[in-house]
Structure 1
Amino acid sequence: MADRRQKRAPLEVDTSRPGTSRVYDFMLGGKDNYEADRRLALSVLEIAPGAPAAARANRDFLTRVVRFLAAEAGIRQFLDIGAGLPAQDNVHEVAQSAAPDSRVVYVDHDPIVLVHGRALLAVDDRTAVVEGDARDPDAIIDDPETRRLIDLGEPVGLLLLGVLHHLADHEDPAGTVARLMERLPSGSYLAVSHFHNPVDHPEASNQAYAAEKLFNEAFGTGRWRTREEILACFDGLELLEPGLVPLPEWRPGSGDRAKPGPAHHTLVGAVARKP
């Protein structure tokens, strides 16, 4: 905890307000977070004690998806939107361990993410960190760094992990995904993880509503969506088996750190291919 208290932020960062990437970092046991982030995280834990397990499940899902895309699907270029702070098994590390020529563009709008990401990746000419927001897909795709590494004539692995639930309904998350996928060629893949409201399970659904309210108070937007609402983000794409499932159920591996448990329902995810 001493390291966390001494953590200093870049001058342009307002550490009096929590940041989504930094709250996630806290849940993963990281040190790139501040007092406001920890206060919100502790409030979340009062509602959802399984939140750290859900965060680990999301990280494990990222690892399995990227390994599958690089090792089995032949994907050599990845666009990770809402990348968050660097952590164990980053996209470029997983992809390049399976296919050394893999190229990765990380996208985020959090100043701390951009500072840390650029420092980490400065020596790697096959990775880049781009400032951008999922709400403006064309700006991301047309950024010079994106175009330097991403060849739009070849399939792309698009990662939107833990991102779309931060968009309000009026921001049209399914439409955002559609606009991104329109810019990518056939044979590209989409991976999504999303906070889930299991409306058929009253206790879990009430927990989801309470967590959603807390996040809206902190960040202004956010929706824990139903299965049908999340599936709408995959319209026109070919869902891979096992479909949209709780994250620990998507092609589990022996190296997973998160196991099915009380937080099993919290996050769901899927991978789909553009025909």
Structure 2
Amino acid sequence: MHSTPDPYFLTPRGTVPNQAAELDQATVARLNGVLLSTALKADTTMGIYPVDRTLAARIEDDVPGYGVSLAAQRVFLDKALEFMAKDRGIDQFVILRAGLPIGPKKTEKEEREEEEETEHTLIQAHLPSATTLLVARETVPCAHQTLVLERQEQQRAATVLAPVHDVHGPLHALHGPENWSLDLGKPVGLTMIGDPSHWPGDVTDLIRAYHHELPDGSVIAVSAFGTATPGTPAAAALDHLARHLVNTPEPTLTPRSRPEIAAWFDGWQLEDPGVAPVSRWAEPPPEDLRGSELPVWCAIATRAAS
């Protein structure tokens, strides 16, 4: 077993779950649930409050590229999970900042499907027998994830409420009514989609703490908003988004440069095509997109044998 620095030494301000703050204002997870559902043509209502829809509508008006970027990152997540399961043979997964269950989705005939989509069901499309730990930063998404897993009678999936800097807890705890835990003697697939964008300051120590904790052969997939040249439409869009997110419990938006993200994976094998734009993984934004495409970097890295 590897050791890591005390995770609470890594704690930045504004990133510890706070139920009172969640209920008093819109949150990032619920905003993303609204906007991602719109982009995916899903009918998501669970865990979404009027305050979330109000702020989401303002963001959609001012920063229409945000919802598009969320959908593109969902495609990247799905492709990363497929790579982990099929190319690397991984069968246990940790999803950091797991979001609200999405859906049910509408078919072409506007008929509802029976089940909501979670990150666990995304994995099951590639590996039905997968073990998945959904790590939620917020209490409302965590509660709804638990309800969906129970309703779907999922046996090897569980939820845990934890901030992303709690490196030890989710990886080592017992989960679910069956009291199972991750097997850290074999590779783990871990995803951190969007989270580095909400971590103020340098995120290197946090990323490397996860690197150090995971066994050889493990794979990490990361996405984060990228920096933009001052004065460009993309920079203006990021500024508008940052002003809206001030009204959430996570008021900091921290875009990351490509060299910064590449430096997180020193000693790991960056998978092709390295640190690449999300458009490399997903379809380009629609031609009729109002406003600018937001810059997003994505990367997949494998821990080489020690």
Q: TM-score range by the shorter chain?
A: 0.7 to 0.9
After superposition, what is the alpha-carbon deviation per residue over 1:160-209, rounded to whole angstroms, capped at 9, x for unaligned?
A: 0011111101xx42211111121111110010111122237722123223
> By how many angstroms is 1:210 displaced?
3.0
The amino acid that maps onto 2:35 is M
The amino acid that maps onto 1:130 is V
Which secondary structure state, in structure 2, belongs to the residue aligned with residue 41 of structure 1?
A: helix
Q: 1:140 to 1:72 in 2, by over 3 A?
A: same
Q: Could you say which residue in structure 2 is the equivalent of 1:127? A: 157
1:19 aligns with 2:23: no
> By how many angstroms is 1:71 displaced?
1.7
Q: 1:228 to 1:213 in 2, by over 3 A?
A: farther
1:1-275 matches, cutoff 5 A: 14-28=22-36, 29=38, 30-32=44-46, 33-87=48-102, 89-122=117-150, 123-145=153-175, 148-169=180-201, 172-199=202-229, 202-218=232-248, 219-250=250-281, 252=282, 258-261=283-286, 264-275=293-304
Distance 1:52 1:235 in 2: 31
Distance 2:259 2:240 in 1: 20
Distance 2:137 2:273 in 1: 32
Aligned residues: 257
Does the CA contact (< 8 Å) of 1:13 and 1:111 recur in 2? no
After superposition, what is the alpha-carbon deviation per residue over 1:84-142, rounded to whole angstroms, capped at 9, x for unaligned?
A: 11126533223223223211000013111111111111221210101111112112222
The amino acid that maps onto 1:162 is G
Q: 1:201 to 1:270 in 2, by over 3 A?
A: farther
RMSD: 2.3
Q: 1:270 to 1:15 in 2, by over 3 A?
A: same
- TM-score after normalising by structure 1: 0.84
Q: Which has the higher contact order (CA 8 A, sep 6+)?
A: 2
- Tell which deviates more after alignment, 74-83 or 237-246: 237-246
The amino acid that maps onto 1:72 is D
Q: Could you say which residue in structure 2 is the equivalent of 1:6? A: none
Distance 1:201 1:73 in 2: 42
Q: Could you say which residue in structure 2 is the equivalent of 1:3? A: none
Distance 1:223 1:217 in 2: 16
- Tell which deviates more after alignment, 157-166 or 137-146: 137-146
Q: 1:64 to 1:201 in 2, by over 3 A?
A: farther
Which secondary structure state, in structure 2, belongs to the residue aligned with residue 121 of structure 1?
A: helix
After superposition, what is the alpha-carbon deviation per residue over 1:192-244, rounded to whole angstroms, capped at 9, x for unaligned?
A: 11112223772212322332233234323231222223333323221111112
Distance 2:24 2:53 in 1: 11
Q: 1:93 to 1:24 in 2, by over 3 A?
A: same
Q: 1:94 to 1:42 in 2, by over 3 A?
A: closer
Does the CA contact (< 8 Å) of 2:220 and 2:302 recur in 1? yes
- TM-score after normalising by structure 2: 0.76
- Tell which deviates more after alignment, 79-88 or 217-226: 217-226
